[in-house]
Amino acid sequence: EDAAEESNVSAELIALRKRLVDEWNAWRVVRRRELADERGHKNDRRNSSSEEKEEIE
């Protein structure tokens, strides 16, 4: 019985850990995607401004 109880607890703990990892990874994916988007826009702006300069010249 004790052994069964113990394994129940660890099963719960394993489930909790899995949930925590899933939450963490989901948040990381969102933030990473946002950062990639922001950097993409920044590069777009840089490219367009350098093109503009060329036209002026």
Partner 1 sequence: MRPILLQGHERSLTQIKFNAEGDLLFSCSKDHVINVWFTHNGERLGTYNGNNGTVWTVDVDPESRFMMSGAADNTLRLWSVQTGKNLFTWEFPTAVKRVAFNDDGTQVVCITEQRMGHQCAIRVFQINRDGDGTDQSTDPLYFFNPIGSKATVCAFTNVPNVIFTGHESGKVALFNVKSGEEVNNNERAHGEVVTDLQLSKDRTYCITSSKDKSARIHDTKTLQVIKTFSTETPLNSASFMPNRPYVLLGGGQEAMKVTTTSLRQGKFETRFWHKVFEEEIGRVKGHFGPINTIAVHPAGTCYASGGEDGFVRVHHFDDSYFKAKPYGDLDIDD
Which of 12, 38, 44, 52 is the binder for partner 1 (CB under 8 A)?
A: 38
- Token pair in block for residue 25: 């990874």
Class of residue 27 by CB neighbours under 10 A (exposed 0-12, middle 13-18, buried 19+): exposed
Q: Is residue 18 near partner 1 by the rule CB under 8 A?
A: yes
Q: What is the DSSP letter of 1?
A: -
- By rule CB under 8 A, what count of residues binds partner 1? 15
Q: How many residues does the chain have?
A: 57
For residue 12, state whether it binds partner 1 (rule: CB under 8 A): no
Residues in contact with partner 1 by the rule CB under 8 A = 14, 17-18, 20-21, 24-25, 27-29, 31-32, 34-35, 38
